Amino acid sequence: MSTLAAAPVRRALDARAIGLMLLLCAIWGFQQVAIKSTNAAIPPMFQAGLRSLIAALLLWGWARARGTPLFRADGTFGAGLAAGALFAGEFICVFFGLTLTSASHMAIFLYTAPCFTALGLHLFTPGERLRRGQWLGVGLAFAGIAIAFADGFLKPPAPGTSVLAGIAGDALGILGGAMWAATTVVVRSTRLALASASKTLFYQLAVSAVMLLALAVLLGQVSVARVTPIAVASLAYQSVIVAFVSYLSWFWLLTRYIASRLSVFTFLSPLFGVAFGVLLLGESVGWRFMSAAALVLAGIGLVNAPARKRG
């Protein structure tokens, strides 16, 4: 998921906002399934690079049509490169990780990002100190991570992989969540916080497209094993629906509704991810992993819960 610059908060959620947030969470949760189902046809890094490139071109066209400047000098270039590099790192972890672990595991581990974000903002951004309830949420989430990670030592999370490969895939999921969080911290604590959402997103997509495609060349992954309807549909879904439409929709919501209320919904994305992995890919999840996932989700909910007003 992309990190967008913060916008002024607006009104409380209505039925339209709730419905759109549920749809976005389902879209983000399905992303892991789409990636994993395409890895056999399109190598991971080439797939990831094409995703970012297509979305960046779409965003450039959209911004041009709206008259939104993307290349005007405003002191954000260095921070933009950093955000783009971290965004690329996140998806290197996700795409490689999904060759080793299940979509269900990746969904849970990747979406630990809000907890890493809360810690990062606590350390680097004035006014973003963790409350007592948020500290509890971080503790629950990391306890869940430890249990879920330990579960990987007992059996491989994906058919055809070894226990060690599964553990490596799970570790990449956690690292991807940490990189997503680092991207958020960079955006919130630098001049990118004052840039337009379109420009912030363009930095992430354009820089990651260059980095991921370059890595694909270095790894000899610039190829397509076979063109299938599923592969084409998956790439279109990832680039058009996820990386372009859903991220811009998320920003539209942020400009009109209270951000803290919207963030509470994000814990649904890993739930959708696990459900889609089980239903569409036939993945199995044991009781230990589900217990760990419950701890992670509870932690995410506490971290994102709005502060109670005093008085």
> What pLDDT is attached to residue 6?
47
Residue 187 counted as domain residue: yes
More confident residue, 242 or 14: 242
Residue 69 counted as domain residue: yes
Are residues 259 and 6 in contact, defined by beta-carbon separation less than 8 angstroms?
yes
Q: Residue 11 forms beta bridges with which residues?
A: 257
Residue 39 counted as domain residue: yes
CA–CA distance, 200 with 111 (Å, rounded to integer): 21
Residue 311 counted as domain residue: no
Residue 8 counted as domain residue: no
CA–CA distance, 223 with 128 (Å, rounded to integer): 45
- Longest distance between any two alpha carbons in the chain, whole Å: 63
More confident residue, 187 or 12: 187
| Burial state string for 15-25 with b = 16 or more CB within 10 A and e = fewer than 16 | eebeebbeebb
Query: Domain range spanning residue 243?
Result: 15-304
Mean pLDDT of the region 113-129: 78
> What pLDDT is attached to residue 7?
43
Q: In which band, very low, low, confident or very high, does the pLDDT at 215 lie, cut at 50, 70 and 90?
A: very high
User: What is the number of domains present in the chain?
Assistant: 1
pTM for this entry? 0.86
Q: Residue 76: what residue type?
A: T
Percent of the chain with pLDDT over 70: 90
Residue 7 counted as domain residue: no
Residue 1 counted as domain residue: no
CA–CA distance, 193 with 91 (Å, rounded to integer): 22
Contacts of 227 (CB under 8 A, 6+ apart): 41
Residue 195 counted as domain residue: yes
